[in-house]
Amino acid sequence: DPAAQADLAEAGRAVLRDGFAQLESRLAGRDFFFERFTIADAAVFYLLNWKARIGMDLPPALAAYHARLSERPAIARAMALPS
């Protein structure tokens, strides 16, 4: 049912918007989610990489966070690997 699929997709986008808002709130004024780069940052980076697949833009603070993490040497090397 196309209408049900559209409703489900919109519900998923609403969940993501709420999640993005929570992440932004937690990140406010900080470079990382904790005192330094941790596995939490790596996990959030991984999740934020799905932005293109789901067709949603990141809020400005999360976009800047994602860009900063993308510049980290280890992340840049990992992202350059063939998929």
**Residues 6 or more apart from 57 whose CB is under 8 A from it?**
51, 63
Q: What is the pTM of this model?
A: 0.82
Q: Supply φ then ψ for residue 40, to 5 degrees.
A: -60, -40
Q: Are 83 and 77 in contact (CB under 8 A)?
A: no
Q: Distance between CA atoms of 48 and 59, rounded to whole angstroms?
A: 11
pLDDT tens over the chain, length 83 residues = 999 999 998 898 899 999 999 999 999 899 999 999 999 999 999 999 888 788 888 999 999 999 999 999 999 999 999 97
